[in-house]
Amino acid sequence: MADLLGVLVIGLLAGTLGGLLGIGGGIVLIPFLRFFVGLSPAHAASTCVVAVFCTTLSGSFRHYKLGHVDIRSIFPVVLAGVVATTIFSLVFLWMAERGRWLDLGTALVFTLISGRMIIEGFLEFRGRRPAPPTDTNQVVGSLGYKLAIGTTGGVLPGLLGIGTGGIMVPAFTLILKAPIKTAIGCSLTCFAANALISSVFKYSQGYVDMTIVGPACVGTFVGAYMGATLNHRFPSAGLKILFGVVFAYVSLKFMLSFGGV
């Protein structure tokens, strides 16, 4: 019972963070499921991605209601992500125990992303860089960029059951020039499709712990709605800085994982 209550609370925290920053919340859930609940790496990743689907579903719906998401403009991103998630879900069983070097690569990418977002946020906060427009929810940009972002965003959910908000939110803001709140809402929406596909595969592969996934989903679903509501009240510069700090922590966790710490 204590473990299930802990999962509910951690799910609530993960969902709130996910709804606020446009991430799935796996950076909170996976370490908890792995080291406190005691699930194996494959079971932790698979159970986490089901809970993450609840985060993205709830958070993306709230962002849509707040006017941050235009489905038509991100459809190519969603489609490319679904295809990539499907392909890499098929190799999950082979790669689940061979992610050490992928951890290192992800850590390096997240380090660059977090640094760039922190710098962008501080420049915007100090008035040296104009804030992007906040009166549009459409994501502009070439079809090629959208397909590339969607494909990249679909790899990790299928391969290791983790989210790619750390890639997609900066990609939406820095490459497609979307306002930060639009980027967060669209990242959640795209990731919802990826997490659904990954969840179906990992459940069919027998790696989802059904005793844990219930309270985790309840916590993440409620938390994501709260986080998305809080997002509507945060300034753009503050969100960028917070996002960068969170993913600096993520990159450190991946580095420690690679080093076996």
Q: Give the tens place of pLDDT for each residue, 31-76.
A: 788 778 888 878 888 898 898 888 888 888 888 988 889 999 999 9
| H or E element in which residue 77 lies | helix 71-89
Q: Are 19 and 55 in contact (CB under 8 A)?
A: yes
Please report the pLDDT score of residue 1 as a whole number: 55
Q: Are 19 and 231 in contact (CB under 8 A)?
A: yes
pTM of the entire structure?
0.76
pLDDT tens per residue, range 71-127: 999 999 999 999 999 999 988 877 666 656 656 666 776 687 678 778 877 877 776
- Non-local (6+) Cβ contacts of 173 within 8 A are 117, 120, 132, 179, 180, 183, 240
Q: Are 33 and 199 in contact (CB under 8 A)?
A: no
Query: Residue 243 pLDDT > 80, yes or no?
Result: no
